[in-house]
Structure 1
Amino acid sequence: MNAAYFITGTDTDVGKTTIATGLLYAARQLGKTTAAGKPVASGCEVTPKGLRNADAVALLAECSLPLSYTQVNPVAFEPAIAPHLAAREAGVELTVQSLLAPMQQLLANQADFTLIEGAGGWRVPLADQANLSDLAKALKLPVILVVGVRLGCISHALLTAEAIARDGLSLAGWVANIIDPKTSRLEENLATLAERLPAPCLGRVPKLKQPSAEAVAEYLQLDLLD
């Protein structure tokens, strides 16, 4: 059975791609075909083949289907700024529709396990009053939430979960990514998240010196997803 999820985070730089690659690796180890999308990415490097985003490249490396870079990341901007600002500077109208078609085409490949990774947190602006969360709504995908565990993460996680529910989407699971291992009352914070988030915890990933997809996958439980 094909499964696809939209993966988001409590904020930017909370390890969405790190967790996404771990989930994709875990799926591949179970013999599943995998695909991934990063519909829009800013902070890209200029290469002879065009703009390349490190997160999208990492996702592509964990795709078992023979996808091109553009299929994974159809819209890329060089400045490491909010996507809607980068689009404005580039003279590009960043709409839900412009991102929807390539992601629908990616999903049409019907990999056993597909992840569509957002940018930043849940309410990342696009053109006009649209947000990247509107893309998740248009795709009608269940959501995996990466919680960057540090001071303040409980409120960020609960507010994100509330916004996901308000948008009519289901929270399929969440992952505790320990950004700050010195967080005061770490265990109590994790217990509170587990009590209050309305979905299973798919894993608790410690701060790793070398957070490879293989290393991260060891801490994840894919079987807890519906």
Structure 2
Amino acid sequence: MRSFTLISALLLCSLTSESHTVEVQSGGDVTLMCSNISSTPTLTEWFRVINRTKPSCVFSMYGSDSKPSFCDGFQNGFEMSSNISTVFLKIKRVDLSDSGLYFCGFYIEGHTVIASATHLKVQDSNSVICLVEESDGMTNFLIVILGVLTVFLTIVVIVLAVKIRKLQTVCDSEYSDLQDLGSDELNYAALNFQAKPKRSRRPASERELEPHVVYAATR
């Protein structure tokens, strides 16, 4: 029966995809639960699988009124209990070695039936502190970077505003000079384009007789 149970546990570890995860910090206590699927008293066992390759029996008990017993290799630190609807496994002062996949097995009518599984993750309290400190350090670094970028962008905006103001002043000055110069050139052109007076020819009768010229009349 034990060999068949271990084979069933190995199959569960390789095929199960419905296990839920429980996270706890090292040094604390945790209680795992699975549903009691047997309607009559039967042999119930808690199993643990480490790295999905090595299933091990942790506790076993018959029915909910009997005294649970440790399996080989396990000692104090685990407590098993059961009632009509739920089977419990309490682990005291957990450490990193307690991480793994836990599940219940019920021996019903000559077959081992596997109940729901729980993936226990034990976090080292020191590593949690380090992660918090690292996160705080990264946050402070990002704040400094954002402050530097803000100051830099502010300086760039001020410099551009000053340059635009100077260019606008120069353009206004040149435009005013062009307006004055254009007015003078127009006046000069008006003077140059004035029509020249035409010389009028006097009739021959009104011309004065030139001196020292002999006039003769012939028929």
TM bucket, shorter chain: under 0.3
Rg larger in 1 or in 2?
A: 2
TM-score (norm 2): 0.23
